[in-house]
Structures are given as C-alpha cells and as structure tokens.
C-alpha cells in the first residue's frame, strides 16, 4: 500500500537532512560494516598498533559487538565499540577524530552507548586504559568507572616506551 504524502513532508525532509548533514553532532548505533574503513582511519590517529578495516568489518558483523558512532555534518567523527558476553561487556575502544577532541563530545557518545548496553541487559562493563591518558580517565570516572587493577608495561607507545594499563569497571543501573 502506498503511504499517503504527509502535508509536513518538506519539514520532515528538512529535519532528516539536518540530522544527517547539519552541524549538530548526534550519536547513532553502528549496525553494519559499512563504516569499517572510517573506524580504522580514526583508530590509527590514536593508537600505536591500529586495527585495520578488515578487523573492524569482522567485529561489526559479530552479534556480540555493540558500537555507536558520533556523527557530525554527514561524517563519523568518533565511535565506541564494546563486546558483550552474558550480562557483562568490555569497551574495546573509544576514539574521537583529533579535530573534535577537547570539546567533551565523548561524554555524549559514551552515555548513549552505556544506556544501550544497559537496555541490552548488561550489568557490568570493563575496560583498560593507559594510566597517563587523562582525558579518558576523566571520561570514564564521570560515567562511574572505578579502578579494579593494573597491568604494568601493557601498552607500547609509538616511541617504543611502555606504560601501565589500569583496569576499570562500572555497574550499570
Ligand atoms: C579519550 C577521548 C575520547 C576524550 O575525548 P573528548 O570528549 O574530546 O575529551 P576532552 O578532551 O573533552 O576531555 C575529557 C575530560 O578530561 C579532562 N582533561 C582533558 N585533558 C586533561 C588533562 N591533561 N588533565 C586532566 N584532565 C584533562 C577535560 O577537562 C574533560 O573533563 P570534563 O569532562 O570534566 O570537562 C579523546 O581524547 C580521544 O579520542 N583520544 C584518543 C583515543 C583514546 O585515548 N581513547 C581512550 C582509550 S581507549
């Protein structure tokens, strides 16, 4: 059956266009592997051992993966990716494009991601973070993560130096 044309269609069209291309950032689930290469490019801006596009493609196709992207002006400016097992999840990575770092946009990304994990029945979320990564530590603390352990020399930096990983955990409402 053909859907009747809404009298508000110009307004609806404009809203859809604004969501996709307007300057206001928004968060949406990543449900297919179409953005895998973009995620790999963003990941490579932040980590000494970046994951390639195939790796992201594989992860995005797995049912245990939950991922969200931060969109602005029609492009992915950041993402967060977790793996779920029973009622637990591990945040594997959170990255913003260098051009938008420093503005707190990761708060919104992580908040919506954790809310979706909670809705999916997840109760505990784990992660690892470099002990020297101040913005990430602040971000995680804001969202209820607390240190539960550490792994000395876990991360290798681009200059070959090694640093300690803190393991953190949050309990979702
Ligand atoms: C971690 C990351 C997602 C945070 O993005 P962001 O939203 O731009 O974060 P901000 O730079 O706004 O900083 C977040 C908080 O840390 C604080 N902060 C930033 N640099 C800081 C520093 N050097 N010392 C103390 N606090 C600092 C900010 O003031 C902010 O605090 P607030 O929430 O109280 O305002 C982003 O830096 C990133 O993509 N980094 C590379 C990838 C990465 O390290 N991911 C995390 C590990 S998996």
Over residues 113-157, the pLDDT tens digits come to 999 999 999 999 999 999 999 999 999 999 999 999 999 999 988
CB 76 within 8 A of CB 91: no
How many CB atoms sit inside 10 A of residue 56's CB? Answer: 26
Report if residue 53 sits inside a domain.
yes
Q: Nearest C-alpha to atom 17 of ligand 1 is from which residue?
A: 135
Whether 3 is in a domain gets the answer: no
Q: Is residue 60 part of a domain?
A: yes
Lining ligand 1 with CB less than 6 A are 46, 93-96, 101-106, 129, 133-136, 138-139, 142
Average pLDDT across the chain, whole number: 92
**Whose CA is closest to atom 10 on ligand 1?**
102
Residue 1 lies in a domain: no
Tally of domains within the chain: 1
Pick from 138, 140, 143, 158 the residue to mutate for probing ligand 1's pocket: most ligand atoms within 8 Å of its CB.
138
- In a domain? residue 30: yes
Q: Which residue segment(s) compose the domain that 154 sits in?
A: 23-171
Residue 10 Cα to ligand 1 midpoint, Å, equals 39
Lowest mean pLDDT across 11-20, 76-85, 158-167: 11-20
Percent of the chain with pLDDT strictly greater than 70: 94
Question: Among 93, 84, 79, which Cα is nearest to 39's?
Answer: 79
Distance (angstroms) between ligand 1 centre and the Cα of 104 equals: 7
CATH number for the domain that contains residue 82: 3.40.630.30
User: Is the separation of the CB atoms in 11 and 19 below 8 Å?
Assistant: no
Atom 7 in ligand 1: which residue has the minimum CA distance? 104
Looking at the domain assignment, is residue 11 inside a domain?
no
Residue 101 Cα to ligand 1 midpoint, Å, equals 7
This prediction's pTM: 0.90
- The tens digit of pLDDT for each residue in 22-41 reads 678 999 999 889 999 999 99
**Is residue 18 a part of any domain in this protein?**
no
Query: Which ligand 1 atom is at minimum distance from the Cα of 130?
Result: 47
Nearest to 143 by CA among 72, 82, 53: 82
Residue 126 lies inside a defined structural domain of this protein: yes
């Amino acid at each position: 059956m053909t859907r009747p044309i809404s009298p508000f269609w110009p307004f609806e069209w404009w809203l859809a266009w604004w969501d996709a291309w307007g300057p206001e950032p928004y968060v949406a689930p990543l449900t297919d592997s179409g953005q895998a290469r973009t995620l790999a490019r963003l990941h490579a801006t932040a980590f000494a051992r970046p994951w390639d596009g195939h790796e992201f493609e594989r992860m995005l196709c797995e049912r245990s993966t939950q991922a969200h992207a931060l969109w602005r002006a029609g492009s992915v400016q950041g993402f967060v990716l977790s793996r779920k097992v029973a009622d637990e999840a591990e945040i594997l990575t959170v990255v913003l494009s260098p051009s938008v770092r420093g503005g707190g946009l990761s708060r919104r990304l992580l908040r919506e991601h954790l809310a979706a994990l909670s809705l999916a029945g997840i109760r505990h979320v784990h992660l690892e973070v470099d002990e020297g990564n101040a913005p990430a530590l602040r971000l995680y603390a804001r969202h209820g993560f607390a240190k539960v352990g550490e792994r000395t020399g876990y991360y290798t930096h681009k200059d070959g130096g090694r640093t300690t990983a803190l393991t953190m955990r949050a309990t979702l409402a």
